[in-house]
Structure 1
Amino acid sequence: MNSLIPLLALIRKDLILFVNDKRALLLTLLMPIVLAAFFGYIFGGSGKQEAAKIELGIVQQDEHLITKNIVAGLQKEAALNVKLMPLAQAQELVRKGKLSVAVVLPAGFGEAAGAALFNAKTKPELTFLFDPSQNAMLAMVKGMLTQQVMQSVSAEMFSGQAGGQLVDQSLAQLAQKQSEGKGEVQDKALSEFLSSYKKFQTSQTADSQQSNVTAKSGLSMPFTTREQAMVANDGLQGQYNAYAHAFAGMIVQFILFMAVDAGISVLLARKQGIWNRLLSAPIGLNSLIIARALSCALIAFFVTVVIYVVAIMVFKVQILGSLLGLVAVALSFALMTASFGLLIAAFGKTPEAARGISVFATLIMVMLGGAWVPSFLFPQWLQSITMYIPTRWAVDGFDAVTWRGLDFAAALPNVGALMAFTTIFSALALWRFNANKEQ
């Protein structure tokens, strides 16, 4: 009991110093909120605002009806913002990073694409100009363009004038080859197919004239899609909120920076002789270290709670999973942070050198932990490495009990991993402090 009184007094002293430093308190609470709001917004926010459109440049060098229909179809795509431009402008915009993707529709493309529908030997070529950093945009544009090309080409070939002319030309060429004795086995089968196809075109044209239908329809995708976001809590509340991940990442980052400051303050106290005066008091070294760690952990937990309250009230972040799980992850991360600060204080030689190394280490941990961007975007080999980094467990734990809607049991592995790091960091720090004392 007697040893507990000075321990509590030391913790109370640290808390008073933290609260009285208004500028540091404001920055500690305000900066993660501002940055989390920014990152959450650019990654989609609460999911209610309209998604940003893909800027697509089109260089139309062909005036064929098929090509015009392809361009018109792309302009109707809700996910695209299509801009017609000359080739030189498209190349310059993509080169400067002001345009993600541009596609060149070359002269003769429409006619050649129609011919290629039945003749795979000669296919017209489309050129994509794209920013190397925007591969995902390129893949999406290719998918939408494929749909428009197939629909426009097949529509013209089935019931358009150009399709009828192409079939007549093909039949004439096949007849000439057969008359010259150059016909092949598959040519006879192709000739029979095109003859039947010609009858189908004629009937399509007759039906369109009788019903006064002028619009032509081609092949379309033989399926539709339905998107369903998979979270543990289905329904309207299960909608993904990008602010949830952004706030988790910024909490992890700024609380780690706070731990760096806590560790540096111990080094400064040692450099100024304050640490030795504290050790001369009737309190053991271990008690002094534990008090410092607990006060740092309490501050970290307080900051986490305040930031999440702002996230919930202002940015509509929902705790779809276990509230108890959120508290457990926050407490275990606060303790891990405190032990990390002690590790810096124990192994740092000077405040200046320790600050540079610890800030660098913190930024690496934050980056690999998925605080800036989700870790699933990393290559698989890098994702495996991040499992040995405490920030990965912290961010995933916060995500699990907020927008993923998982229960308390799902948060236990994250809590266990964070406590394991806490034990390792604390043991190393205590060993180093006691080793330095004996020297």
Structure 2
Amino acid sequence: MIYKLYQSICKEFLLLKRDIGGVIILFLMPLVLIIMVTLIQDSTLKNLSNTKIPILLVDNDKGSVSNSVFENLQKSEVFSVVTQIDNKPLTEKMAKEAVFKGTFQLAIIIPSHLSSDLQAKIDQNVETIVSSLGFSDSTAVPKKSKLVSQKEVKLYFDPATQLSFKNAVMSSIDKMISQIETRSIYTAFQEQLGEGTTSFEQKSFISFKEIVPRVNNKEVIPNSVQHNVPAWTLFAIFFIVIPLSINIVKEKTQGTFIRLRTNPVSNGIVIAGKTITYLVICMVQFYMMLAVAVFLFPHIGLPSLNIEGNLFLMTIVAMFSGFAAIGFGILLGTVAKTQEQSAPFGATATIILAAIGGVWVPVFAMPHVMQIVAKSSPMNWGLNAFYDVLLRNAGILEILPEIGLLFMFFVITITIALLYDKKKRSV
């Protein structure tokens, strides 16, 4: 049995040897892909962090609120404020046209009398509260309340701007205005109570601090390499589906499979030979991509992938991901009748599994329905297992559910392929 398995493996390697160009592409293209994608994403993140986004600010208020907004935006590491175009003071019409043409991403229009009306409204509210508590001067003549209408700070966005950017900007502006309102309320209470020497603590009582994982007393800060290497390694592993399914179809169309069946060799031995052969290719791909991430990336301006203490678990995840990809390839090759069926379907199916599995777009950013669908993708299982090892310091017990699902996928696809082949031969 061992000899038959060895001969089956040799047969698979001989088939691959006949197409050296295809094998080279199988190894070379994933390496080019991972380098290009990581370089592009890393440079994009660096540009976003080092480059300020110019935004238009139309100040119709000319008061304390607009001055505070302007100062906060200027201090921001994200925005640079533009108040003139072609040496002409901005108007709402000019800003709107510039943004809708795509020249700028954002325009902020501060309404007139915003500062004075805000202060008037706060004074009214504070005076009402103080009076209800009995602290007001009974001999004072009540002031006639000024009717203050609600104010709107208009935001014009470039139609091509992403929703996440819009939400972040609106949240930031809302926070600025809230802080200004809070300071004004404290000041108004001071004036109403007549405690000129009393000062309220206006510093935010609640602050936020990000706690990141630590390994060997060093913070583990996720970067583009830690996200891209596992994702595109999985993509490369699952692309083994294409040559594997094509070779199976070739065997059927050229009569090789029939000759194999006439020999005293079970179908299980043939499939085991294919599994071992292509698993070796998957693991070679995996180690090549790791070598590039560890040794080449630092020389091209990218962070090196830290695999210290994680290589064994990453190898296990890659191996079981390879099993899942091979099972899918064998099933596709068994069902497909021609290469024209297997190759396009294999490529398209791999891309779909990558898309819904979180390789291109993070699962948390998908709609709720797609987040549920993503859990059915073997690439999602493999990606989560890689992230558990690299970013969450998980052990073998934590990744058991994911690798269990990957192996179950392999067993199910192989079983379906065997049953389909048996039924087809019995007809």
TM-score by length of 1: 0.77
Query: Is the counterpart of residue 143 in structure 1 residue 171 in structure 2?
Result: yes
Q: 1:46 to 1:29 in 2, by over 3 A?
A: farther
Aligned match of 1:224: 207
Q: 1:108 to 1:427 in 2, by over 3 A?
A: same
Q: 1:237 to 1:41 in 2, by over 3 A?
A: farther
Q: 1:373 to 1:46 in 2, by over 3 A?
A: same
Query: Is the counterpart of residue 406 in structure 1 residue 394 in structure 2?
Result: yes
**Which range moves more in the overlay, 247-256 or 140-149?**
140-149
Amino acid in the other structure paired with 2:257 = W
CA apart distance, 1:282: 4.4
Separation (CA, whole Å) in 1 of partners of 2:384 and 2:323 = 17
Partner SS state of residue 129, structure 1: strand
Aligned match of 1:266: 248
Aligned match of 1:196: 192
Aligned with residue 382 of structure 1, among 354, 357, 370: 370
Separation (CA, whole Å) in 2 of partners of 1:102 and 1:400 = 41
Amino acid in the other structure paired with 2:152 = E
Contact 1:154–1:218 at 8 Å: present in 2 too?
A: no
CA apart distance, 1:118: 3.5
Q: 1:89 to 1:369 in 2, by over 3 A?
A: farther
Partner SS state of residue 222, structure 1: coil
Partner SS state of residue 391, structure 2: coil
Partner SS state of residue 376, structure 2: coil
**Which range moves more in the overlay, 375-384 or 325-334?**
375-384
Contact 1:32–1:251 at 8 Å: present in 2 too?
A: yes
Contact 1:320–1:405 at 8 Å: present in 2 too?
A: no
How do 1:351-362 residues align onto structure 2 when only pairs under 5 Å count? 351-362=339-350
Aligned residues: 391
Amino acid in the other structure paired with 1:103 = I
Amino acid in the other structure paired with 2:231 = G
Question: Residue deviations 1:73-112, cap 9 Å, x none?
Answer: 2111113343345445544554456654432223333333
Aligned match of 2:155: 128
Question: Residue deviations 1:249-299, cap 9 Å, x none?
Answer: 111222212212210221133223333344344433332222122211221
Aligned with residue 102 of structure 1, among 83, 98, 107: 107
Aligned with residue 30 of structure 2, among 19, 29, 32: 32
5+ residue gaps, structure 1:
160-166, 168-192, 208-216
Q: 1:269 to 1:102 in 2, by over 3 A?
A: farther
Aligned match of 2:337: 349
Partner SS state of residue 359, structure 1: helix
How do 1:202-213 residues align onto structure 2 when only pairs under 5 Å count? none
**Which range moves more in the overlay, 297-306 or 86-95?**
86-95
5+ residue gaps, structure 2:
85-89, 126-147, 298-302
CA apart distance, 1:45: 7.7
Contact 1:53–1:81 at 8 Å: present in 2 too?
A: no
Q: 1:285 to 1:155 in 2, by over 3 A?
A: closer
Contact 2:317–2:382 at 8 Å: present in 1 too?
A: yes
CA apart distance, 1:360: 2.5
Partner SS state of residue 57, structure 2: strand
Identity, in percent, stands at 20
Separation (CA, whole Å) in 1 of partners of 2:408 and 2:282 = 18
Query: Is the counterpart of residue 241 in structure 1 residue 239 in structure 2?
Result: no
Q: 1:244 to 1:273 in 2, by over 3 A?
A: same
Aligned match of 2:78: 79
**Which range moves more in the overlay, 61-70 or 85-94?**
85-94
Query: Is the counterpart of residue 69 in structure 1 residue 65 in structure 2?
Result: no
Amino acid in the other structure paired with 2:192 = S
Aligned match of 1:11: 9
Separation (CA, whole Å) in 1 of partners of 2:410 and 2:121 = 65
CA apart distance, 1:144: 2.6
CA apart distance, 1:424: 0.2
CA RMSD of aligned residues (A): 3.4
Question: Residue deviations 1:110-131, cap 9 Å, x none?
Answer: 3333334345753321012234
Aligned match of 1:364: 352
Separation (CA, whole Å) in 2 of partners of 1:265 and 1:353 = 13
Query: Is the counterpart of residue 301 in structure 1 residue 289 in structure 2?
Result: no
Contact 2:357–2:378 at 8 Å: present in 1 too?
A: yes
CA apart distance, 1:6: 3.4
**Which range moves more in the overlay, 131-140 or 403-412?**
131-140
Separation (CA, whole Å) in 2 of partners of 1:355 and 1:295 = 19
Question: Residue deviations 1:150-200, cap 9 Å, x none?
Answer: 4556668888xxxxxxx8xxxxxxxxxxxxxxxxxxxxxxxxx68636x55
Partner SS state of residue 82, structure 2: strand
Aligned with residue 236 of structure 2, among 254, 274, 282: 254
Aligned match of 1:393: 381
How do 1:326-341 residues align onto structure 2 when only pairs under 5 Å count? 326-341=314-329
Q: 1:289 to 1:98 in 2, by over 3 A?
A: farther
Contact 1:116–1:122 at 8 Å: present in 2 too?
A: no
CA apart distance, 1:377: 2.0
Q: 1:413 to 1:124 in 2, by over 3 A?
A: same
CA apart distance, 1:420: 0.6
Q: 1:385 to 1:235 in 2, by over 3 A?
A: farther
Amino acid in the other structure paired with 1:223 = I
Q: 1:322 to 1:254 in 2, by over 3 A?
A: closer
Aligned match of 1:179: none
Q: 1:51 to 1:236 in 2, by over 3 A?
A: farther
